[in-house]
Amino acid sequence: MILAARCSQTWAGSHDRNRFATEWDELDPTQQQTLAQFKADWSNLPEQQKNKLAKGAARWQNLNKQQKAMALNRLNKWQELPPAERKKIRKRYQSFQQLDPQQRKKLWRLHQRFKNLSPEQKKKLRRKYKQLTPEQKRKF
């Protein structure tokens, strides 16, 4: 359950303006169970954090077992990262969110193409990228 609640924090994106119940008694029993570790401090949490946690708990309830296992695996990997690496990733994510939708879509497609390359193709592409000048990298 603790990991489920932490997943709910990770999933809850600030870009979604939907409001969820933020008072403990307004949460449904399943949300309360998922967020049980926060009960004692719930009234002291900022409204935005309560909303994010409630949203995440609601989303968690709708995942199947395989999706939950994958989410927990990603969360564990995230928690194992050094703080500096997490900060770097958060910054990159914020930059991505500031792109216009067309740029985000293009970048996402390129990322998917890269993921589908063989390990050797990825290594070759990385080597090629490292040899580019800063100007060439920006255009890449």
pLDDT value of position 79? 93
Please, how many CA atoms are within 13 Å of residue 136, restricted to the half-sphere of its CB?
Answer: 6
Q: Are residues 21 and 76 in the same domain?
A: yes
- How much of the chain is in helix, strand and coil states, percent to nearest 5? 75, 0, 25
pLDDT tens for the chain, residues 1 to 140: 444 444 444 444 444 445 677 789 989 899 999 999 999 999 999 999 999 999 999 999 999 999 999 999 999 999 999 999 999 999 999 999 999 999 999 999 999 999 999 999 999 999 999 999 989 888 77
* 3-state secondary structure at position 16: coil
Q: Are 84 and 114 part of one and the same domain?
A: no
**Does 37 share its domain with 48?**
yes
CB-CB contact of 55 with 22 (8 Å): no
Output the pLDDT for position 20: 73
For residues 59 and 125, state if they share a domain: no
Paired tokens of 23: 């008072």
pTM for the whole thing?
Answer: 0.59
